[in-house]
Chains A and B, each alone.
Chain A
Amino acid sequence: MKTELAPPAGHHLLQFYVETETLARNVAAYFADGLRRGERALLVATPEHAAAITEKLSEKGVDLDGFTRLDARETLERISSERRPDERLFEEILGRLIRDTIAASRGFGLRVFGEMVDLLWRDGRGEDAAALENMWNRLLERQRFSLYCAYALDLFAPGSRVPALTTHTQLLPTGVDGQLERAVERAMRETLGAEAVDALLPLIRATLHPRALRPGPEATLLWVRNHLPDVAAEVLARSRAGFLSGRDAG
């Protein structure tokens, strides 16, 4: 996957993933690039993901001196009051840690990966997840760091809910070298017919998307899910099959 390796401070990246392997590879690439530049890295993840990411970082031979790990569930409890994220506690605990870590980086900066919002999302607590995203965004406005968050979400599953894209600055791409784009377009042609797709694609390309979404296959998939729910399941299933066979062949 082509990860934006050097997101400017203030950027709030978003990744949808299905496999831990993919997530670990991408987060490790994001951290490894920063650590090699002298930046600090803060990981707020589940134990399973923390182990997979640390393993990948270790394989890359990166010096882990500037790397801090927090347990996502435990941290979420610490910043919550009456089971809901509390901005005062968020500031006291994470805000302070981030400020201190940035100061210790001697001007190099900080990259953060967090999945507390995903824990809330998976628990069906969408409002709390959105509130926590906004707390992160307010902190991003005041402190010099970038944030990468991930949701365990299968874009190819028609029933899966999609979190608010307006609270992020960029949705990271799923495929490499146009794999997903080719799979999605072929799936649309097989399902809807060439004439319909030739009419729809310029409309989809003319669409201005929510902040995090760039024109591309992810945007097209989300467009199909939102606008054509009756055929979305078939397009998504064909896209998944085409994407996976292209990826495995590659």
Chain B
Amino acid sequence: VGPISLLHVEDDPNDRLIMSILFRKVAPDLELKAATDGVEAVEALSKAPRPALVLLDLKLPKKNGFEVLEWARSRPELDALPILVLTSSSERGDIDRAYELGASSYLVKSVDMAAMREIARGVAQLARLREPAA
């Protein structure tokens, strides 16, 4: 059994870098995989082993985050997978649409590194509780 893995779907290389640094710091026991657009996300979720959870940006090339959500929730095998939206948008319309399409949570990126570290710590804990046997 390998380490618990998380999938971070994010097209911005700086945001990917920050999240990978934070995860190495707060959760070195977890493996953070990355997808840089919606199509890569769909490919990653289509094959085993699947991640314990997904952090999903909304503004993505090729297939946006809403489309990825809609696709994932139409697949019975991904129905229970936690998909946490992590985006720069705090627009009410985006929040409601994400929940209507099946997002588990909606989080907004912060420029405050302490706030982002808290998010990473919570996400890591959630992943460990979801897959305690891994």
Q: Is the interface of A mostly helix, strand, loop or mixed?
A: helix
Which residues of the partner chain A approach B125 to less than 8 Å between Cβ atoms? 196, 199-200, 203
Check if A192 is an interface residue, CB within 8 A of chain B. yes
Check if B90 is an interface residue, CB within 8 A of chain A. yes
Known: A211-B95, A228-B130. 8 other contacts (CB 8 A): A192-B129, A196-B128, A199-B124, A199-B125, A203-B107, A203-B122, A206-B107, A206-B108
23 A-B residue pairs with Cβ-Cβ distance under 8 Å, sorted by A, are A166-B96, A166-B99, A192-B129, A202-B119, A202-B121, A203-B107, A203-B119, A203-B125, A206-B108, A206-B115, A207-B105, A207-B106, A207-B107, A208-B90, A208-B106, A208-B107, A208-B108, A211-B92, A223-B105, A227-B105, A228-B126, A228-B129, A229-B80
Check if A8 is an interface residue, CB within 8 A of chain B. no
Residue numbers of B with Cβ under 8 A of A are 80, 82, 90, 92, 95-96, 99-100, 104-108, 115, 118-119, 121-126, 128-130
Contact of B118 among A192, A203, A210, A223 (CB under 8 A): A203
A126 → B minimal CB distance (Å): 14
Which 5 A-B residue pairings sit nearest by Cβ, starting from the closest?
A203-B122, A199-B125, A202-B118, A166-B96, A208-B106
Instruction: Decide: B105 and A210 in contact? CB cutoff 8 A.
Output: no
Known: A199-B122, A204-B122. A210 touches B129 (CB 8 A): no
Instruction: Decide: A211 and B90 in contact? CB cutoff 8 A.
Output: no
Give CA–CA (A210, B98) in the complex, Å.
9
Instruction: Decide: A164 and B100 in contact? CB cutoff 8 A.
Output: yes
Give CA–CA (A227, B122) in the complex, Å.
12
Instruction: Decide: A208 and B95 in contact? CB cutoff 8 A.
Output: yes
Instruction: Decide: A210 and B95 in contact? CB cutoff 8 A.
Output: yes
Which residues of the partner chain B approach A196 to less than 8 Å between Cβ atoms? 125, 128-129
Known: A202-B122, A211-B96. A231 touches B106 (CB 8 A): no
Check if A60 is an interface residue, CB within 8 A of chain B. no
Known: A164-B100, A206-B118, A211-B96. A200 touches B126 (CB 8 A): yes
Query: How many residues of A sit at the interface, in one of the four size bands?
Result: 20 to 34
Which residues of the partner chain B approach A201 to less than 8 Å between Cβ atoms? 122
B76 → A minimal CB distance (Å): 16
Task: Write out, one digit per residue, whether chain A residues 198-229 have a CB within 8 A of any chain B CB (1) or not (0).
Answer: 01111110111111000000000001001111
A220 → B minimal CB distance (Å): 12
Give CA–CA (A208, B87) in the complex, Å.
11
Which residues of the partner chain A approach B104 to less than 8 Å between Cβ atoms? 226-227
Which residues of the partner chain A approach B82 to less than 8 Å between Cβ atoms? 227
Which residues of the partner chain A approach B119 to less than 8 Å between Cβ atoms? 202-203, 206
Give CA–CA (A219, B14) in the complex, Å.
31
Most buried by A among B82, B107, B119, B125: B125
Give CA–CA (A208, B128) in the complex, Å.
22
Write the chain A residue with the least CB distance to B82.
A227
A226 → B minimal CB distance (Å): 6
Give CA–CA (A209, B103) in the complex, Å.
10
Which residues of the partner chain B approach A192 to less than 8 Å between Cβ atoms? 129
Instruction: Decide: A203 and B95 in contact? CB cutoff 8 A.
Output: no
Which residues of the partner chain B approach A165 to less than 8 Å between Cβ atoms? 99
Instruction: Decide: A199 and B95 in contact? CB cutoff 8 A.
Output: no
Give CA–CA (A227, B119) in the complex, Å.
15
